[in-house]
Structure 1
Amino acid sequence: MSINDLLWVSSGDYSYAFSSEGTIVVRKRSHNTILEEIPKRAKRNDVYKRMKQAIKINKELAEADADHKPLVPEINRSLRSWMTGDTSWTAATLIERWADKHWRKALSNLVIEVGGKKGFLTDIQDKTVMITRRSGRVRKISVKKNDPILLPHPTTMKRLTQWQDAAERMGIQQGYRQLERPVFRNEPDIEAMEQRLQAHAGGRWYRQGPDSRLDALCAREGMEIHDGQIETKYETKNGGVVKFVAECLTTKPGELTTMFFFFTDGDGQPLDQVSHAIYSESIRTAMILKAQADVQLDALPKM
């Protein structure tokens, strides 16, 4: 495919397009040559950011199973709870889990905050946590067992693009998807959130026994199936719980079709608001529940 066959979108001093391999290519508006290296200024453009987001979402939906299969489901669920909750782990918890090879695979290179500093988790030796800063410098931070360790969600990272660029520059790979996780814009109120979620209803699953694809997905993503509902629980500070619920239609035994989505507290009462991180994760979950379903319906059946 030649450069003239690509669909270019111009913004500012640059033009952007998806290559035949699905990557983003950039050229100056006044030139007809693709740049070998994308300038930082071009990466800061909203068009480039939206294209990067589209790639992340497509990868998440197409490779959801492959992305998390190497991780033990309990580890995957625990990390998401840590990342979206208002609570932190203690240094003692992190040190204990780092000693386990399965946990270490998932924890390696996550961006954490320890001692007021953020960095890629590189190693832990005794009571010393080593993080790599965006500059590439390795910092050694001595910790006490009750010191808090934070795992920021991408929605809360003010310099997310810089962390992504640093990971790419240093060849850093994360076993658990944190930096490359799809992030979705927050909505002004709960009604707008649930309305946007509704666009992803219509995933039909055929659940035949506890080894069904839906049950495997639920085990991996930390969801539970109860009486025609698929629930995801998020722990919040002070022992609170936010539930993201997919209400399903069950017209035949073992058949579930996602119809609409809503949020409740731990007692099933409607919520007025949820955090940006939980909302973003809920959009991701709703998209996967449709994209990975046995059938994707264009029109919802009547309940």
Structure 2
Amino acid sequence: MGWVTAGDYEVALDEGKVVCRNATGRRLKSVPAKLADDPAVVGLRQLVEWLERHERQCLSDVERWMVRSLPVPLAVLTRVWPDPAWRSALRDLVVTGADGEVAGFLRDADPERGLGLVDLDGDTVRVSPDLVRLPHPVLLEDLEELREFAVELGVEQRAQQLFREVWHRPAGLDAEAASVEEYAGGAFKELRFLHGRVTQLGHRVRGGYAVCSAWEDGRAVEARVWVGDYDGYEETETGPLMWTDAAGRVLKLGRVGPVAWSEGMRMAAALYAGRDIEDEERAA
């Protein structure tokens, strides 16, 4: 932690916060108000804001790689690994080979030695694949066993992979149907509440739909739930869940892959969970 002069004081960053000490070296409980506009204090606070944005962006990018099933070049991982924000987002993710078999939990990425993994025997191994695969959990056949093993190892994933909610397409599903009604009809007293929930969950609203994207078998698929596009103070409710291709054409459910299905159901369930239940309780 390096100290920078600010008037008669010195300031520094400590665990993401601006801290201050006086001329005798005694650390103060807070930064004096008179230093609020000091260039050193302003600069450090701007740096904190940038670091927080950077950390969120790294985590978002890693989750996007996973949701879109995007193999990542080894050279990219070894380049970003020294950055604490990237390393925190990537550490302990499950890595698989080209055949889908689990290789281990990611613990290191080095330009010379490749990836450092903890394999399923608990041993540390080194591998150097050209492309690194960070699979969506719905694609992991032994997900429950991996979760148990992760708990035993003390694995803490910042990117939601192993402990991400997953949905599997039911075996008896009507493959010719075009939508899922399970999470439709979730009532909200005001449209802006539902739109706010969409944003809070990390999704976007476009054309009155909450949308999330996945990339599966080389094609883009988008899950959509109608949330409304009228006055923000009007009542609204969640609509049925559907999936579309890159051209916006609605897909039959039989053509929706496992990742797109899971992510769409995850979004729809999370939106529905925020519904107004007071009216439901009164009706009951």
Place the TM-score, normalised by the shorter chain, in its bin: 0.5 to 0.7
Give the CA deviation at 1:224. 1.8
Residue range with higher mean Cα deviation, 79-88 or 116-125: 79-88
Cα separation, 1, equivalents of 2:278 and 2:214: 27
Query: Within the alignment, does 1:121 sit opposite 2:100 as a pair?
Result: no
Query: Within the alignment, does 1:179 sit opposite 2:184 as a pair?
Result: no
Give the CA deviation at 1:134. 1.8
Aligned pairs, number: 221
Residue matched to 2:223: 244
Is contact 2:183–2:272 with CA below 8 Å preserved after alignment?
Answer: no
Cα separation, 2, equivalents of 1:72 and 1:266: 30
SS, match of residue 87 in structure 1: coil
Residue matched to 1:134: 120
The alignment yields a C-alpha RMSD, in angstroms, of 3.2
- The 1:125–1:87 alpha-carbon spacing in structure 2 relative to 1, beyond 3 Å, is closer
- The 1:178–1:205 alpha-carbon spacing in structure 2 relative to 1, beyond 3 Å, is farther
Residue matched to 1:194: 179
Residue matched to 1:226: 206
Give the CA deviation at 1:250. 4.7
Query: Within the alignment, does 1:83 sit opposite 2:70 as a pair?
Result: no
Is contact 2:169–2:261 with CA below 8 Å preserved after alignment?
Answer: yes
Cα separation, 2, equivalents of 1:208 and 1:95: 43
- The 1:161–1:248 alpha-carbon spacing in structure 2 relative to 1, beyond 3 Å, is closer
TM-score, normalisation: structure 2: 0.66
Query: Within the alignment, does 1:150 sit opposite 2:133 as a pair?
Result: yes
Give the CA deviation at 1:296. 7.7
SS, match of residue 232 in structure 1: strand
Match among 250, 255, 265 for residue 283 of structure 1 = 265
- The 1:73–1:296 alpha-carbon spacing in structure 2 relative to 1, beyond 3 Å, is farther
Give the CA deviation at 1:77. 4.0
Give the CA deviation at 1:295. 6.2
Is contact 2:191–2:227 with CA below 8 Å preserved after alignment?
Answer: no
Larger Rg belongs to = 2
Segments of structure 1 that go 5 or more residues without pairing to the other structure are: 1-68
Please list the CA deviations of residues 153-204 of structure 1 after superposition, one character each: whole Å capped at 9, or x if unmatched.
Answer: 2222122222112111121111122111222221345556833x53354152
Is contact 2:69–2:136 with CA below 8 Å preserved after alignment?
Answer: no
Amino acid paired to 2:213? K
TM-score, normalisation: structure 1: 0.62
Give the CA deviation at 1:130. 0.2
Q: How does 1:81-120 map to 2 (within 5 A)?
A: 81-114=64-97, 118-120=103-105
Cα separation, 1, equivalents of 2:278 and 2:220: 30
Please list the CA deviations of residues 119-169 of structure 1 after superposition, one character each: whole Å capped at 9, or x if unmatched.
Answer: 0001122242100012110001235xxx11111222221222221121111
Segments of structure 2 that go 5 or more residues without pairing to the other structure are: 1-51
Amino acid paired to 1:245? R
- The 1:227–1:92 alpha-carbon spacing in structure 2 relative to 1, beyond 3 Å, is same
Instruction: Give the ranges of 4+ consecutive aligned residues of structure 1 lying more than 4 Å apart after TM superposition.
Output: 69-73, 114-117, 189-193, 205-209, 293-299
Give the CA deviation at 1:229. 1.3
Query: Within the alignment, does 1:262 sit opposite 2:248 as a pair?
Result: no
Please list the CA deviations of residues 204-246 of structure 1 after superposition, one character each: whole Å capped at 9, or x if unmatched.
Answer: 274659xx7336425x3xx2212211111223454x3111111
What's the % identity of the aligned pairs?
23
Amino acid paired to 1:167? A
